[in-house]
Amino acid sequence: MVLFVNFNVLLRIGTPLYLGFLLASGLLALMPNRAFAGGLEVTSYGARALGRGGAVMAATEGADALRYNPGRLAASRKWTIGLDGQLHIGDTCFTRTDVATGTELPEVCNQRGPGYIPQLAASIPIGRKHGLGLGVLFPAGTSALRFGRDSDGTVAQGGTRIPSPARYSMISSENLAVFPTIGFGTNYGRLRLGASFGWGVFVLKNVNFSSGLPSQNELFDARSALSASDSFVPRLMVAGDYDITKRLRLAFQATWTAAVNASGSVFLSGVTNGMPYSTRIDGATVNSPNPWEAGLGTRYQGKEWDIEFDFLYLGSSALQEVVIRLPDSARLPVAGTIDGKDISRLNSRQAIQRHWQDQLIFRVGSEFRILKSRVALRSGLSYETSGVEHGYEAVDNLPLSRFGVHAGLGVQMTSYAELNLAFAALFIPEAKVSASEARLEQITGQRPLDLANERVLINAGSFRTGLQAVALSVLFRGR
């Protein structure tokens, strides 16, 4: 394993060509930001749900039913409009270990500020037995990360700027996902059934650095930037619930989300023959599978209180790798050959290893209504198992196990307006990846001459992350 390039190899390649070769061979470790748990979600969405630890599959009502259980769209006798906003405050830090020397490189942390996630949804009763839901739903995930300066991949350290230790995984990610969604529910006495369909739109913007040779020397780095989008990622949910008794209810749901198949452009920049340049390659595609999920919930209620237990199974193992493809005709303005290979030609396929594994999610939530039911006090707990195979953790691949503590408050302001507040703190154990456990390799493409068998591991070290979420919603009901 080498971390610093063998300069004898450079002499054999030839100085006029080697920088161009670095750009040609160091292909594009670019991918949609997947620093989530729970598939696309990192917390429960909606102030009422967040305050209950996400345990609302059987207790959801009104506009929130569109997200958690569209069967309950048929349970409401009045129209509702819900306006939600959620603020994520947290940090993700990486202390990388130099595999060659065993020393720790400087810690680098996410430089983005708090993230805001909105939601707008409505439910409309149709007669006495049916209900319709409409909404614009955003995944409650982490959409923006930055671990260095976009332009050169550096971070501030001791009054100077140094290459970011995270640059071979990610420098920055600014991704957007939104699901315009429609749902329908129907009531069969004690049984309610429903389904919803979402039209997902994904916009991906990612920057990272690759290396022309197996090395951490920034002289051999090339900047890669991806801009791509997928305007149709369908999502389908089927759900329902059954009143076993007046106090006890059982609910279920299953959700399938299609893979992201985005298309767009890759921008490469660096230095060749001592001259800086940049080039754009159109026709790039990104394929990233999404997990499926299925769940059961049970709710027991009294006159002024209820408690619910939810269990979800996430098929996260659907995501083993993210595949990036370039047109076979993709070229860089560099002339020459190395070991008989055209150094201007870029690899047409690159697989980024994710190695997600199936997850279990447990949620418990309760609600107590006081002051003639005008005020609701909520609390909850949540737990998720780890969603990544140990050894594949990275700053952009951290669906780690987590434990959440939740609290919320609901106030009936008027007969037709309700205000909800919620707070959640997610506690995530530190992940440590030793040099012998690390599995993610630096993307280098061609390895000429006696570097053919060299590999540089880029994710040895420790990962520290945590999150707090604050939510506010206003729910309007028809009279």
DSSP per-residue letters across 75-112: S-SS-EEEEEEEEEEEEEEEEEB-TTT-PBPPPEE---
CA angle centred on 28, ends 23 and 30, rounded to 5°: 155
> What does the block give as tokens for 50?
């967040």
Residue 240 lies in a domain: yes
Distance CA 323, CA 351 (A): 4
Residue 34: the pLDDT is: 42
The percent of residues above 70 in pLDDT, for the chain, comes to: 86
pLDDT of 459 over the 50 cut: yes
Mean pLDDT of 47-74: 95
Instruction: Work out how many domains the chain is built from and give that number.
Output: 1
User: Where residue 461 sits, what CATH number does that domain have?
Assistant: 2.40.160.60
Place of tokens 């007969």: 415
If we measure between CA atoms, which residue out of 41, 158, 40, 169 comes closest to residue 110?
A: 169
First to last CA, the chain: 70
Residue 115 lies in a domain: yes
Residue 1 lies in a domain: no
Residue 2 lies in a domain: no
pLDDT of 129 over the 50 cut: yes
Residue 343: the pLDDT is: 65
Distance CA 405, CA 383 (A): 9
Residue 214 lies in a domain: yes
Mean pLDDT of 52-74: 95
Residue 143: the pLDDT is: 64
Mean pLDDT of 299-312: 97
Q: What is the pTM of this model?
A: 0.89
Average pLDDT in the chain: 87
* Burial (0-12, 13-18, 19+ Cβ within 10 Å), 15: exposed
> What does the block give as tokens for 351?
């697989």
Q: How confident is the model at residue 3 (pLDDT cuts 50, 70, 90)?
A: very low
What domain range is 46 assigned to? 7-477
Residue 14 lies in a domain: yes
pLDDT of 25 over the 50 cut: no
Q: Are 189 and 129 in contact (CB under 8 A)?
A: no
Residue 100 lies in a domain: yes
Mean pLDDT of 266-293: 86
Distance CA 303, CA 154 (A): 59
Which of 163-167, 274-278, 333-337, 453-457 is least confident?
A: 333-337
The percent of residues above 90 in pLDDT, for the chain, comes to: 68
Distance CA 207, CA 217 (A): 18
Q: How confident is the model at residue 269 (pLDDT cuts 50, 70, 90)?
A: confident
